[in-house]
């Protein structure tokens, strides 16, 4: 059965095709913690985190679900989160240095004012980036 969630003008409706049961819409808070990440600090509005183990093999899309949960818990309308693999590269101040920016492993932003939500994972010290596909948490 396929379930689609449509939200507009403050009205939510569920449209489904086939079957008699209705599957719940997944929320980030319903997922178990995927990776062991450590909070570093808030810099401006951005939440800064680092993987507890730089060699963690958790899939980036699973980590993004965890970042969504973090944004749910802080209850901010705009929630940028940056995650590094190694603590030594975490931004010390804004703007980030090139070295710090290149070392960002996952950047995630959610803006409830505009409905924008995106995540990018960087590999090879910023030489290769990939936009992640993940279940959205923005209504």
Return the minimum-mean-pLDDT range out of 53-57, 72-76, 130-134.
130-134
* Phi, then psi, of 54 in degrees rounded to 5: -60, -20
Cis peptide bond N-terminal to 95, omega within 30: yes
Q: How far apart, in whole angstroms, are the C-alpha atoms of residue 129 and residue 124?
A: 9
Give 117 or 136, the one with higher predicted confidence: 117
Query: Which residues does 54 contact at the CB level (< 8 Å), separation at least 6?
Result: 85, 86
Closest C-alpha among 69, 60, 73 to residue 107: 60
Q: How far apart, in whole angstroms, are the C-alpha atoms of residue 93 and residue 108?
A: 18
Band of the pLDDT at 19, cuts 50, 70, 90?
Answer: very low
In tens, the pLDDT along 56-108 reads 999 998 999 999 999 999 888 999 999 999 999 999 998 999 999 999 999 99
In angstroms, the Cα distances linking 67 to 14, 72, 109 are 26, 9, 9
| The domain defined by 26-131 carries CATH number 3.40.190 | no
The pLDDT value recorded for residue 128 is 84
The ranges assigned to domains in the chain are 26-131
Residue 27 has pLDDT above 60, yes or no: no
Structure pTM? 0.74
Tokens of 13: 């409706």
Bridging pattern class, strands 78-84 and 46-51: parallel
The pLDDT value recorded for residue 56 is 92
The pLDDT value recorded for residue 31 is 56
Residue 12 has pLDDT above 70, yes or no: no
Compute the half-sphere exposure of residue 16: CA atoms within 13 Å on the CB side of its CA.
12
């Amino acid at each position: 059965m396929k379930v689609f969630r449509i939200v507009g003008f403050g009205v939510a409706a569920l449209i489904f095709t086939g079957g008699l049961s209705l599957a719940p819409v997944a929320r980030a808070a319903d997922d178990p913690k995927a990776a062991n990440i450590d909070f570093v600090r808030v810099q401006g509005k951005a939440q800064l985190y680092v993987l507890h183990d730089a060699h963690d093999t958790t899939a980036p899309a699973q980590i993004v679900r965890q970042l969504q949960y973090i944004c749910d818990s802080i209850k901010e309308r705009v929630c940028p989160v940056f995650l590094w693999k190694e603590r030594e590269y975490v931004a010390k101040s804004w703007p980030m240095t090139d070295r710090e920016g290149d070392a960002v492993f996952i950047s995630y932003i959610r803006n409830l004012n505009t409905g924008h939500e995106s995540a990018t994972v960087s590999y090879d010290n910023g030489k290769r980036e990939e936009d992640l596909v993940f279940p959205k948490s923005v209504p």
